[in-house]
């Protein structure tokens, strides 16, 4: 990281480490004139602004100090959170505030071409609704229910996304956006990430910023985990970290999973599995969201099955928690209610060592259905305004 660059100064401002010119000089050791020159680059780009500082926060003698802050309104991000049968899309400012939002039916097994074309149409509609020109879009973030290679942005061997394996999602999304949205640029960055990872990223940043090891379990149609360590998503070496739905359980040799194996956790404890079990019990249910609906009305079989599923997930989480030693374990998704949470707690505290769980908070989602969108927006912003990337973009603006 070039600590003399405008991108580095922007990072100090965005992270709250320096909010005045004097603080930037003190932290970087740069001269007043050099700091002023770097800030001029950021002002010309429209990325920062100065406001009157609170005298309590920034005490001064003489002329009041001016506070430097990232201008979250100078551009927008388009984001979509894809599930198996439903999607949510939004326009957000760079601070993660939703400016316009749309949700609707979108079947992921219809294939990436059709799904991404539909998303592009939704994005155009949302920009109109928010009265934001397409030229203000600085990036697109996509949350998907499958493993993602972070370098290529490709979905890799997703059990519940037929037709998406190794598909060039970023390139196809760019083409669809340019084709369906008037005034859209062709080189807009498109970032793709696993849904549980993005939910964990958003929930940790918004609700538990001091937690250095954060674990989120999403239980909907499938089961996945997102891990945030030191403020960064932990993906493993190729994006497969957190795929706990495919840990094999003993005692379920005939439970066929969508991945083709038998006995996976997702085959017996996911929303899809519970929907099948409810249907077999005479309560027709088609998906994890259908199970959620049954739970909301207190359907007895749904309550019983959700608690049993929570126990199975809790048994697996005893190992995961012992390995990671997180400060927060968050349960999210369609099944994240009292019966399931009760089952998780029963087995987790029974099987894990007391020392491992002594300081563990077990909670449910704070951001709800918007967690994936907010996480996707944060991912795009952190990528585009990281010091090196910011410097490169500033050089492009100056050319």
Q: What is the SS3 assignment for the chain?
A: CCCCCHHHHHHHHHCCCCCCHHHHHHHHCCCHHHHHHHHHHHHHHCCEEEEECCCCCCCCCCCCCEEEEECCCCCEEEEEEECCCEEEEEEEECCCCEEEEEEEECCHHHCHHHHHHHHHHHHHHHHHHHCCCHHHEEEEEEEECCCEECCCCEECCCCCCCCCCCCCHHHHHHHHHHHHCCCCCCCCCEEEEEHHHHHHHHHHHHHCCCCCEEEEEEECCCEEEEEEECCEECCCCCCCCCCHHHCECCCCCCCECCCCCECEHHHHHCHHHHHHHHHHCCCCCCCHHHHHHHHHCCCHHHHHHHHHHHHHHHHHHHHHHHHHCCCEEEEECCCCCHHHHHHHHHHHHHHCCHHHHCCCEEEECCCHHHHHHHHHHHHHHHHHCCHHHHHHHHHHHHC
The count of structural domains within the chain is 3
Residue 393 lies in a domain: no
Q: Specify whether 125 is located in the same domain as 53.
A: no
Q: Specify whether 216 is located in the same domain as 362.
A: yes
CA atoms within 13 A on the CB side of 238: 5
Domain termination residue (choose one: 53, 70, 87):
70
CA atoms within 13 A on the CB side of 315: 13
Domain ranges, residue 11: 6-70
User: Whole-prediction pTM value?
Assistant: 0.93
Q: Specify whether 359 is located in the same domain as 381.
A: no
Q: Specify whether 318 is located in the same domain as 377.
A: no
- Model pLDDT, residue 57: 59
- Model pLDDT, residue 64: 63
In angstroms, the CA 312 to CA 299 distance is 20
CA atoms within 13 A on the CB side of 108: 23
CATH number, domain of 227, equals 3.30.420.40
- Model pLDDT, residue 60: 58
Q: Specify whether 39 is located in the same domain as 157.
A: no
Q: Specify whether 258 is located in the same domain as 126.
A: no
Residues in the chain: 399
Residue 395 lies in a domain: no
Residue 397 lies in a domain: no
Q: Specify whether 237 is located in the same domain as 310.
A: yes
Domain termination residue (choose one: 16, 46, 70):
70
Residue with tokens 């972070």: 150
Q: Specify whether 226 is located in the same domain as 305.
A: yes
- Model pLDDT, residue 399: 63
Residue 392 lies in a domain: no
Residue 396 lies in a domain: no
- Model pLDDT, residue 38: 95
Q: Specify whether 254 is located in the same domain as 192.
A: no
Q: Specify whether 121 is located in the same domain as 185.
A: yes
CATH number, domain of 32, equals 1.10.10.10
- Model pLDDT, residue 240: 87
Residue 309 lies in a domain: yes
Q: What's the farthest any 2 CA atoms get from each other in the chain?
A: 77
Give the residue ranges of the chain where pLDDT is below 70: 1-3, 54-64, 186, 399
Give me 287's structure tokens: 């998906």
Q: Specify whether 166 is located in the same domain as 276.
A: no
Domain termination residue (choose one: 46, 70, 94):
70
């Amino acid at each position: 990281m070039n600590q003399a660059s405008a991108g580095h100064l922007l990072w100090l401002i965005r992270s709250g480490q320096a909010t005045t010119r004097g603080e930037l000089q003190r932290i970087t050791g740069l001269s007043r004139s050099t700091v002023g020159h770097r800030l001029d680059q950021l002002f010309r780009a429209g990325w920062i602004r100065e406001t009157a500082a609170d005298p309590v926060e920034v005490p001064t003698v003489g002329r009041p100090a001016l506070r430097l802050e990232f201008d979250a309104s100078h551009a927008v991000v388009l984001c979509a959170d894809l599930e198996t049968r439903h999607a949510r899309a939004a326009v957000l400012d760079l601070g993660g505030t939703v400016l316009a939002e749309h949700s609707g039916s979108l079947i992921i097994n219809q294939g990436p071409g059709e799904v991404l074309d539909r998303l592009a149409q939704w994005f155009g509609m949302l920009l109109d609704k928010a009265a934001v020109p397409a030229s203000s879009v600085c990036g697109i973030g996509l949350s998907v229910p499958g493993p993602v290679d972070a370098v290529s942005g490709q979905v890799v061997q997703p059990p519940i996304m037929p037709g998406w394996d190794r598909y060039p999602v970023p390139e196809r999304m760019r083409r669809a956006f340019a084709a369906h949205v008037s005034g859209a640029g062709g080189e807009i960055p498109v970032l793709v990430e696993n849904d549980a990872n993005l939910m964990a990223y958003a929930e940790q940043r918004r609700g538990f910023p001091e937690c250095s090891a954060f674990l989120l379990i999403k239980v909907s149609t499938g089961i996945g985990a997102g891990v945030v360590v030191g403020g960064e998503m932990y993906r493993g070496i190729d994006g497969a970290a957190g795929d706990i739905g495919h840990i094999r359980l003993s005692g379920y040799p005939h439970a066929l999973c969508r991945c083709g194996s038998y006995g996976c956790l997702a085959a017996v404890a996911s929303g899809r599995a519970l929907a099948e079990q409810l249907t077999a019990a005479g309560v027709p249910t088609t998906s994890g969201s259908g199970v959620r609906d049954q739970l909301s009305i207190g359907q007895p079989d749904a309550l019983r099955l959700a608690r049993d599923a929570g126990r199975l997930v809790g048994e697996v989480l005893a190992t995961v928690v012992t390995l990671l030693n997180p400060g927060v374990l968050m349960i999210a998704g369609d099944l994240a209610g009292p019966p399931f949470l009760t089952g998780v707690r029963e087995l987790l505290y029974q099987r894990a060592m007391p020392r491992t769980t002594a300081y563990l908070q077990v909670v449910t989602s704070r951001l709800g259905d918007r967690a994936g969108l907010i996480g996707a927006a944060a991912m795009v912003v952190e990528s585009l305004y990281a010091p090196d990337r910011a410097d490169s973009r500033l050089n492009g603006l100056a050319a």
